[in-house]
Each structure stands twice: as C-alpha cells, then as structure tokens.
Structure 1
Amino acid sequence: MGDGESRLTVLGSCGAWPEPGRACAGFLLSHKGFRVVLDLGYGAASRLFAHCPDRLPDAVVVTHEHPDHCADVSALGRAWHYTVQAGEPTRRLPLYCTPGTVRRLEAMEPRPHPTELFDVHDLGAPADLGPFRLTTHLLPHHQPNFGVRLSAPGLTVAYTGDTGPSPLLADLGRDADLLISDATLRTPPPEGQPRYLMTAAEAGHWAARAGARRLLLTHFWPGTDRTEAAAEAATRFGGEVLVAKEDLTIPL
C-alpha cells in the first residue's frame, strides 16, 4: 500500500498484559499520508517502529492513563527525542490525552519532561488533527476514558478505548466505517455491578445500534478464545466482524 492509502494497522490487541508474541492496545491509522497512533500500551512501540520505518507518526491519541494503553508512549518519546528533536530541538509531537496520562509518563521519564517532547492537548476538547476532525465521548471505565471519533470526508473511524456498556457508544460509532471496540470480558458480571468493560456480544450490540459498517474487536483478556468472541459479536451485529491481531492491516 502507498502512504496515501487509508488503512488501520493493529499494533497490539491484548488487555491488561500482553500474551507471548502479542502486545497491548495500539493502532496506527493512516489517511492521506497522515499517521495517527491510537493508544500505545506494553509492547506496541516496537511494532509501531516496524510499520513506520521511514518516519515517526504525526500525532498520538491516548484514550486513558492505564499502562496497557500508554506505557509505550514513553518509548515513542525517547525515539522522538533522539531522532527528530536531535535535528529540530523545538519540535514536539502532538499528544491528545488525559492529564493522568502525562503524570504517568512523567513518572517513567521526568527528564526530558513529557511536555518537552509532546505538544499536549486536552482529549476532552474537539480538535482538527491532520485531515481528521477529532471528537470524543467520556465513557464508563475505572479511569477517565474517552472514546474517540476521527472523521474526514469519506472516512470515519471510532475507537472505544476501554468501556462498559453505554448509550454514548451509539453516538460514538454512528455510521462509522470502522468501530474498534473493547471486548475484554468473556462473560458479563452479575446484574447490578458497575460496568467498566464489555463482552464481545455487547460490542456487537452497540455496533449494531450505531449502524457501523465494520466492527473490530480488541482488548482481549489473555487466554480469550478470539474465534468464539467473534462468533458472539456476530449474533448481535450483522456487519463484518474482525478480530484484532498484531500486524493486521485493514484497508479503509
């Protein structure tokens, strides 16, 4: 594929910690030559570098501060500092995230401070991001988590981050070409408990409610039968169900 073609590449598909040979949450969205990373958890940075051998990405979006979604942003910051900033000392990489994410990065590497490496933006505010319009929905999770929607003429990609069931998911994924959805749980918790994660069947339900064209299941708990998860999602969603797998590239 040429760099101008639209595609999504899976960098990591696991939740909590990476299974052998896999990585935690991470996606690389490329459109009209612009590259944006969606989350970068444990082990995802090495795959990012493999898929970006010519240059580093143009922006990073981190849905929330859990380390299985943001730990390897620190590795990207080091690569940026020693390659890009070595030649352009004042240039910073745009980073859209929660305040807690910056604190996590600072704890891992205080010098240079993350704000010296990254041009930090509040993820809760709409923004223009390369060819995309970025909008968000605050979704239920253990930490503040923003589902992100990236829209450009002729293309919309939505990503839940980690979330429990919520009517906001229908708005997040409304008519999206691709909805990337949390599918962590194998079975739902007992009735009445707070919900901060979803099953694959619930992901299928909300993809159908949203009218999304395709559904990509991700954030699998280690040991999950992913074929079974896809089958469960398909009982609720009539569109194409895809299963995140490291290095999978999806034309958009």
Structure 2
Amino acid sequence: MRFTVLGGCGAWPAAGQACSGYVLEHEGFRVLIDPGYAVLPRLLERMKAHEVDAVLVTHGHPDHCADLNPLLRARALADAPAARLPVHAPPGALDAVLALDNRRMLAGSFSLQELRPGTPVEIGPFRLDVFDLPHHVPNAGLRLSGGGRVIAYTGDTGPSAELLSLAKDADLLVAEATYPQRVPDEDAPFLSSALDAGRTASSAGAARLLLTHLWPDTPAEPALAAAGRSYSGPLSVASGGLTLDLG
C-alpha cells in the first residue's frame, strides 16, 4: 500500500504548492482523496486522469474539492472519454463544485455516492469506514483498510471522541493541524492543532503521524515540535511529492 501527498496546504495553495490532495494505491487501484486547489496538475505528473479509479471527498470546502471539476473535465472531454468515475462525499458536499458546469457537459462522467457514518463501503481493494467529525460543514473522517494496513484521515475537524476510533492502531494517521499549539477560540470547535494531533495519535496507538492542512507559508518545525510533545512515533508534515510505502 502506498500513500502519496499531492498537496497539504490549508485554506489556499502557497506558491508552488497545492491544497489537500492525496493518492492511495493498493493492488493497482488508485483512490484520489480530497482534490483541493491546484491538486490536478500534481496528479497529472504521476498518472493520466482516466487512471484514477475512485475519489473520496471529506467535505465541501474548496481547498478539499475544487479540483474535482477539472478532473472530471479532463475525463469527460478527452478524445476517448473515461469510464464513469465513482465519487464519494457527504450528502450535498459537492453541490457547488458540480454546479460549475452544465450538467450535460459532465453527464456520464461520474457517479455520486453519499458517505454515511456507520455504513462500511467496499471501494476496490479497500474497506472504507466513515466517521462524523465536527467542522464548519459536514466532514467525514475516513478509515481505509486493505492488505492488512490501515490509513486514517481526519479531514478538517475539531475535538471529538470519534477521533480515537478513527485512528485506533492505524499504520498511518493523516491529521489536520492548522495551528501548531492553539486553535483560536472562534474556530476551536471546528479545527485542530498539531498538539491535538499528537495526543490523538498517541492515545490511539497510531504507528505513524502525518500532519497536514498547515496554514500556508508557515514553517513545519513548530508543528512538529508541538506534536512531538505527546507523540514519540515517526512524525512528518505533508508536502507535495512525499510518498510513504506502508508495505
């Protein structure tokens, strides 16, 4: 199982970077997770648009889903249009991005399936378990299992007891860490810090922690130091091009 970071900026892409975007591969099956701003060009450096087998979107903020539109265009408008792409997202999360084009233009290019907590889904070689996590809009925490490995991804989230279930014994926890140590009061119910992520990874027994969604143009060192206060396992920050081979 291989996990590749296409981008990890929160809110907007810093120069030369992209917002949230990840590819998970196993047994030749490729899942694109959260195609945020500027993700598609990074994806196309690694594969053709028609080689994506499924898309997962945690929530409807554009830094997590805006590049679904050009991905669907690249598939639908090709000389040989690609097969219908399964797209999984919380109910209503993609209404805005799918409304960017006339329905006829993308007709037949995708099938939209709703992510619902408590209902496991089989996606290629993966089992997907979904967790309802608090954010400004509905947000789905994703737990993907396959080949004896588990990857857990928080999307964007505030404090929740569900995080421990999401991340329990995961081989990799990809955790939102917008701020190093303290989330401003107005956002505290809806976002996390690197300090929070380290505590979650430690309590859940995650084997590796990847911090993502840092505020653009902020250095990685304060986030790594904050998470390292409570988490002693392998620790890094999501940056474009990072690939983790989980065996």
TM-score by length of 1: 0.91
Percent identical among aligned pairs is: 46
AA in 1 matched with 2:99: A
Residue 196 of structure 2 is matched in structure 1 by 202
Match of 2:104 among 109, 112, 117: 112
Residue 240 of structure 2 is matched in structure 1 by 246
Write out aligned runs for 1:75-224 (5 A): 75-83=70-78, 86-87=79-80, 91-112=83-104, 116-124=108-116, 125-189=119-183, 194-224=188-218
Write out aligned runs for 1:33-72 (5 A): 33-53=28-48, 55-72=50-67
The alpha-carbon deviation at position 190 of structure 1 amounts to: 5.9
Q: For residues 157 and 238 of structure 1, what CA distance do their matches in structure 2 show?
A: 18
Is contact 2:49–2:71 with CA below 8 Å preserved after alignment?
no
1:15-45 C-alpha deviation (Å, 9 max, x unpaired)? 1001101100000011111100110100011
Match of 1:31 among 26, 44, 48: 26
Secondary structure at the counterpart of residue 221 of structure 1 = coil
AA in 2 matched with 1:25: S
Is contact 2:183–2:191 with CA below 8 Å preserved after alignment?
no
Q: For residues 192 and 72 of structure 1, what CA distance do their matches in structure 2 show?
A: 28
Where does the alignment leave 5 or more consecutive residues of structure 1 unmatched? Answer: 1-5
Secondary structure at the counterpart of residue 175 of structure 1 = coil
The alpha-carbon deviation at position 102 of structure 1 amounts to: 2.8
Q: For residues 246 and 102 of structure 1, what CA distance do their matches in structure 2 show?
A: 24
The alpha-carbon deviation at position 55 of structure 1 amounts to: 4.7
Secondary structure at the counterpart of residue 204 of structure 1 = helix
Secondary structure at the counterpart of residue 94 of structure 1 = strand
Count of aligned positions: 244
TM-score by length of 2: 0.93
AA in 1 matched with 2:57: V
Q: For residues 135 and 149 of structure 2, what CA distance do their matches in structure 1 show?
A: 27
Q: For residues 193 and 80 of structure 1, what CA distance do their matches in structure 2 show?
A: 37
Residue 13 of structure 2 is matched in structure 1 by 18
Q: For residues 36 and 14 of structure 1, what CA distance do their matches in structure 2 show?
A: 20
The alpha-carbon deviation at position 114 of structure 1 amounts to: 5.4
CA gap 1:8/1:44 in 2 versus in 1, 3 angstroms: same
Secondary structure at the counterpart of residue 182 of structure 2 = coil
1:114-169 C-alpha deviation (Å, 9 max, x unpaired)? 56321111111421001100111010000000000000131111100000121111
Q: For residues 106 and 140 of structure 2, what CA distance do their matches in structure 1 show?
A: 20
CA gap 1:13/1:212 in 2 versus in 1, 3 angstroms: same
Secondary structure at the counterpart of residue 135 of structure 2 = coil
Q: For residues 89 and 187 of structure 2, what CA distance do their matches in structure 1 show?
A: 28
The alpha-carbon deviation at position 185 of structure 1 amounts to: 1.9
AA in 2 matched with 1:27: Y
Where does the alignment leave 5 or more consecutive residues of structure 2 unmatched? Answer: none
Secondary structure at the counterpart of residue 58 of structure 2 = coil
Is contact 1:133–1:152 with CA below 8 Å preserved after alignment?
yes
Q: For residues 59 and 119 of structure 1, what CA distance do their matches in structure 2 show?
A: 10
The alpha-carbon deviation at position 51 of structure 1 amounts to: 1.3
